[in-house]
Structure 1
Amino acid sequence: MKLLKGSLLGSAVAFAAVGAAHAADLPVKKAVPIEYVRVCTAYGAGLFYIFGTDTCLRISGRARFEGGYMTSSSRGSGNGDTSGYQGRMRINLDARTQTAYGTLRAFVRLDAGARTGYSGVGTSGTQTRIGQAYNATGVDAAGRAQQFMNVDKAFIQFAGLTAGRASSFFEFYAHDFEITCSTLGSDNSSTSLLAYTATFGNGLSATLSIEDPVYRRSAIFAP
């Protein structure tokens, strides 16, 4: 009986050893790599697919810091600070989705900033007119602490249509031209609009745009 048990136990050990040897000879399958970020190349560089969707997104922006010093206008008290600082930021979100009728695009640009010190730093009439500067809100009692928030762009484009806050289609001149405090067009400033662009090929297109005149209206001066 002991001999039979020993023979059976030896056979089981032998079969286990043979099975282990065969398993060691089998090829090892590597796990499929997880693609955390899918690069989207259909609309240029810098875009990636939003997880679980077919929408491509580009996130960009910039940060800016400035420090300045100005002399006091007099030796009296209450003339404000002689030094000033400001920090500004810009965030761009550009999302695009391919549909059966063309590309659906949504674009948002947000500007924000804060400054302390002497008032008026970082803003000029020229920069405001060409859409490169924006007035402050939340000014303190002495005018030395100011906060900024500006929705520069927020529009949707689809099948030739553009709707939202975007650069005016009437301002076709690409850069500012300043004469005696008057601005001859700029593609930087934005307005609320609803426009349709028809493309005829060979670089030829035409746009019909309905725009809010508030952003372009000039003041009327009395004699």
Structure 2
Amino acid sequence: MNIKSLLLGSAAALVAVSGARAADAVTVAEPEPAEYVKICDVYGAGYFYIPGTETCLRIGGYVRYDASAGQEGSFTGRGTTDVMDGDSQRSWSKRARFALKTWTGQETELGTLKTYTETRFDFLNGATDINAHFAWIQLGGLRIGADESAFDTFTGYAGAVINDTIVPYGGFGTNLISYTFDAGNGFSAIVSFEEGNSYA
């Protein structure tokens, strides 16, 4: 009897202690307010606000692989030397490219401030190449940096009049300082000071 009473008393004491612990208030720390990335639709699709700023950012790019064969052309890389045996390689060319693009936009007292960059990573016939294809900053109509020549962009790349692969009508890439005036009624004009040496 004494052992049975002792066991029942111990079990009752354990249940009472467990119940008392369950009744204690559990304190859970408040989570830190998360600062989520917000969509910025002022400059078009794909932009988001950089957290803590009023600057909108868009990130893009592409991956590309080209392989070509046939007659050597004046604008192709098929007239290269084979990296394995040093033989002339005149009928087969290949290239892999990764391009990283960024756009930013922000409103200022002087107008809209925009930037654009495009960095290309090329692996062409065994050789690697990295270049900043575009890198400019623009405030209102004033643009400074590496861009395509105004002789190409302002004329819409000559439209369907001239094929630039056959007849190159101008240098494309250049460092420039340009200003574009847009009257808003269909009239626009551009003044561009350009380095003149094509980097593209």
Question: How would you bin the TM-score normalised by the shorter chain?
Answer: 0.5 to 0.7
* Partner Cα separation in structure 2 for residue 169 and residue 69 of structure 1: 34
2:4 match = none
Structure-to-structure mapping, 1:156-195, within 5 angstroms: 156-171=137-152, 172-175=154-157, 177-178=162-163, 181-185=166-170, 189-195=172-178
Are the equivalent residues in 2 in contact too, given 1:173–1:185 (CA < 8 A)? no
Q: TM-score, normalised by structure 2?
A: 0.64
CA distance in 2, matches of 1:179, 1:50: 39
Q: Write the distance in 2 (CA, Å) between the matches of 1:95 and 1:151.
A: 16
Alignment partner, residue 110 of structure 1: 119
- Count how many residue pairs are aligned between Structure 1 and Structure 2: 154
Any idea what the Cα deviations from partners look like across 1:50-105, whole Å, max 9, x if unmatched?
111110001010001245677xxxxxx85367976432011111011111221111
Distance (whole Å) between structure 2 residues aligned to residue 107 and residue 152 of structure 1: 10
Match of 2:87 in 1: 79
Secondary structure, counterpart of 1:170 in structure 2: helix
How far is 1:215 from its partner?
2.5
Match of 1:90 among 85, 96, 99: 99
* 1:54–1:179 distance in 2 versus 1, CA, 3 Å: closer
Counterpart Cα distance in 2 of 1:85 and 1:62: 17
Alignment check: 8 A CA contact 1:175 1:185 kept: no
Worse overlay, 98-107 or 83-92 = 83-92
Task: Tell me the equivalent position of 2:63.
Answer: 63
Alignment correspondent of 1:133: none
Runs of 5+ consecutive residues of structure 2 not aligned to the other structure: 1-22, 24-29, 71-84
Alignment match, 2:183: 200
Give the TM-score of the pair, scaled to structure 1: 0.58
Q: Percent identity?
A: 34
Deviations 1:181-219 (A, max 9, x none): 531358xx2211111122212121111111112229xxx
CA RMSD of aligned residues (A): 3.3
Rate the CA distance shift 1:56–1:78 in 2: closer, same or farther, 3 A.
Answer: closer
Which of residues 136, 139, 148 is equivalent to 2:129? 148
Q: Using the alignment, how far apart are the partners of 1:159 and 1:180 within structure 2? A: 33
Gaps of 5+ in 1: 1-19, 21-29, 71-76, 117-144, 217-223
CA offsets per residue over residues 135-190 of structure 1, 9 Å max, x none? Answer: xxxxxxxxxx201122111111002211111121122333462489531358xx22
Q: 1-side partners of 2:165 and 2:139: how far apart?
A: 40
